[in-house]
């Protein structure tokens, strides 16, 4: 009898141990299924699962896992669509949380602000050095209806300008949280153009004011004192008026030329012709102005340069401008050279106008191609210069696909260089 009881107790303990092991195994599989987000397939008979009380739990868990998988697929699709949409626009887009930790950046923002380091996870004030942007965000937090505002951001010593706008969005990193969407539209180039326009208007106004004031002053004097002015004085006043009227005419003509060049940067009517013949004609035009006892003009032409494509009128204008500058600003030169060389490496024709005049100070040389820039402002105005000649020259050369440069030092003369592509044939209809 005792043996029977012992056997029954052992059988019960074995059954209990088996049940516990099966329960633990099913619970472990259920835990792994939830962690891995996949439905559970148990290798146990349904009667055993029902007896252990797992049949309903497994069905509900599998249904919950299936609903969660569908939800995450939808959310992932929405996030991928959002990422693709924001990543494809040119504006810089940044999403950050309440602690200003960056949760999302599009490709434009990453490329613009941090090419070598990921912005995601960094703090906004560390990634973007901009007191004006932080002030804008503080103001936005206080007034959710804040309009677009211009802010500046420092990047590697440069100052970039943006139009900034904000909006509240659902949190990216965690569900239920609120984040801020910041959109930055780059207006740096527009700011630069606006500054150039202001400077241009100011310079034009200044250039016009002087001859107009002179004309007005002498004309009023002639009107008011005509009866008492000597004939010689009236003639001198009229000469001043004519000279300054001519100065205004030249200035307006240069402004119109510059405007046409800038408004139609691609309109170059090229034709294949001889640059050497053009330079010989230009040289002949200026030889009568040379002091035959003290000055000489030379043509140094590379024989390797044959005919090439360029617009005759414009390139003649370039050489005329450079030669006129030599006569105007370096009248004491003894040697003026028109030089043409062929650069086989870049397939370019290199042209130079070289004089042995007084030269240009080192601090002025980088600026001589800017509008209205004058090395000697007083002497330039007296000689009739408008300050636009070299700027016009630069535009013409750039339209042809070349570049300009200068070499000069005080007392060592000046060499102004420009290049032209060595194009010898033109496609049909090309200009």
- Give tens-digit pLDDT for 350-396: 999 999 989 888 888 888 888 777 766 555 555 556 678 888 889 89
Report for 38-52, 74-88, 289-303: range of highest mean pLDDT? 289-303
Q: What mean pLDDT do residues 278-288 have?
A: 90
pLDDT, residue 1, reads 65
Number of Cα atoms under 13 Å in the Cβ half of residue 110: 16
pLDDT, residue 410, reads 87
pLDDT, residue 189, reads 84
pLDDT, residue 392, reads 85
Rounded Cα–Cα distance for residues 306 and 94 (Å) = 57
Buried b (16+ CB within 10 A) or exposed e, 37-49: eeebebebeeeeb
Of 104-108, 380-384, 389-393, 416-420, where does mean pLDDT reach its minimum?
380-384
- Structural tokens at position 405: 């440069």
End-to-end CA distance of the chain: 119
pTM of the predicted model over 0.85 = no
Give all strands (DSSP E) within 277-421, no chain letters: 296-301, 308-310, 335-343, 348-355, 404-408, 414-421
For residues 146 and 325, which has the higher predicted lDDT (pLDDT)? Answer: 325
Residue 102 · residue 93 · CB < 8 Å: no
Residue 344 CA to chain centroid, in angstroms?
31
Helix (H) or strand (E) holding 47: helix 46-52
Give all strands (DSSP E) within 97-220, no chain letters: 102-105, 149-155, 158-170, 178-186
pLDDT, residue 355, reads 93
Q: Which CATH number fits domain 89-186: 3.40.50.360, 3.30.450.20, 3.10.180.10, 3.30.43.10?
A: 3.30.450.20
Rounded Cα–Cα distance for residues 111 and 367 (Å) = 32
For residues 336 and 193, which has the higher predicted lDDT (pLDDT)? Answer: 336
Report for 111-115, 146-150, 192-196, 403-407: range of highest mean pLDDT? 403-407
Handedness of CA 186, 189, 192, 197 (dihedral sign): negative
pLDDT, residue 35, reads 62
CA distances from 314 to 236, 270, 277, 397 (A): 37, 10, 15, 9
Report for 109-118, 202-211, 334-343: range of highest mean pLDDT? 334-343
Instruction: Flag whether pLDDT at 146 surpasses 70.
Output: no
For residues 227 and 335, which has the higher predicted lDDT (pLDDT)? Answer: 335
pLDDT, residue 49, reads 47
**Average of per-residue pLDDT values in the chain:** 78
Going by pLDDT thresholds of 50, 70 and 90, the confidence category of residue 75 is low
Q: Of all residues in the chain, what percent carry a pLDDT higher than 70?
A: 71
Rounded Cα–Cα distance for residues 260 and 311 (Å) = 15
Q: What mean pLDDT do residues 27-33 have?
A: 61
Domain positions in the chain: 2-79, 89-186, 192-263, 271-421
Query: Class assignment of domain 271-421?
Result: alpha beta
Rounded Cα–Cα distance for residues 65 and 76 (Å) = 16
CA distances from 140 to 26, 165, 170, 178, 251 (A): 54, 9, 17, 14, 49
β-bridge partners, 96? 102, 180
User: Which residue matches tokens 């070349």?
Assistant: 402
Q: Which fold is adopted by the domain 192-263?
A: Helix Hairpins (1.10.287)
Residue 298 · residue 338 · CB < 8 Å: yes
Q: What mean pLDDT do residues 183-199 have?
A: 80
pLDDT, residue 30, reads 59
């Amino acid at each position: 009898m005792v043996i029977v009881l012992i056997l029954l107790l052992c059988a019960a303990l074995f059954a209990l141990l088996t049940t516990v092991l099966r329960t633990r195994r099913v619970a472990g599989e259920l835990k792994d299924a939830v962690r891995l987000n996949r439905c559970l397939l148990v290798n146990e008979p349904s009667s055993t699962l029902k007896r252990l009380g797992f049949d309903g739990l497994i069905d509900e868990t599998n249904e919950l896992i299936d609903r969660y998988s569908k939800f995450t697929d939808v959310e992932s699709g929405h996030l991928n669509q959002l990422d693709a949409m924001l990543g494809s626009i040119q504006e810089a887009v940044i999403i950050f949380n309440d602690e200003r930790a960056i949760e999302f950046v599009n490709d434009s923002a990453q490329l613009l602000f941090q090419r070598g380091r990921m912005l995601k996870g960094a703090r906004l004030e560390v990634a973007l050095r901009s007191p004006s942007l932080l002030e804008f965000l503080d103001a936005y937090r206080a007034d959710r209806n804040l309009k677009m505002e211009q802010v500046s951001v420092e990047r590697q010593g440069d100052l970039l300008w943006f139009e900034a706008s904000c909006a509240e969005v659902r949190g990216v990193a965690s569900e239920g949280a609120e984040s801020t969407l910041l959109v930055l539209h780059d207006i740096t180039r527009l700011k630069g153009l606006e500054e150039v326009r202001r400077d241009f208007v100011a310079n034009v106004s200044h250039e016009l004011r002087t001859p107009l004031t002179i004309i007005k002053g002498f004309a009023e004097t002639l009107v008011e004192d005509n009866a008492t002015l000597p004939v010689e004085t009236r003639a001198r006043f009229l000469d001043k008026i004519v000279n300054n009227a001519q100065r205004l005419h030249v200035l307006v003509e240069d402004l119109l030329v510059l405007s046409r060049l800038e408004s139609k940067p691609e309109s170059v009517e090229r034709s294949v012709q001889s640059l050497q013949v053009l330079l010989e004609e230009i040289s002949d035009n200026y030889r009568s102005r040379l002091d035959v006892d003290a000055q000489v003009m030379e043509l140094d032409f590379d024989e390797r340069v044959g005919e090439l494509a360029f617009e005759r009128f414009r390139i003649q204008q370039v050489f005329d401008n450079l030669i006129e500058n030599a006569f105007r600003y370096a009248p004491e030169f003894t040697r003026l050279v028109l030089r043409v060389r062929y650069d086989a490496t870049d397939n370019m024709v290199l042209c130079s106008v070289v004089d042995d005049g007084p030269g240009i100070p080192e601090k002025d040389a980088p600026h001589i191609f800017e509008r209205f820039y004058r090395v000697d402002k007083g002497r330039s105005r007296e000689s009739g210069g408008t300050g636009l000649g070299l700027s016009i020259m630069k535009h013409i050369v750039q339209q042809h696909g070349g570049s300009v440069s200068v070499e000069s030092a005080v007392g060592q003369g000046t060499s102004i260089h420009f290049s032209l592509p060595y194009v010898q044939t033109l496609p049909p209809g090309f200009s």
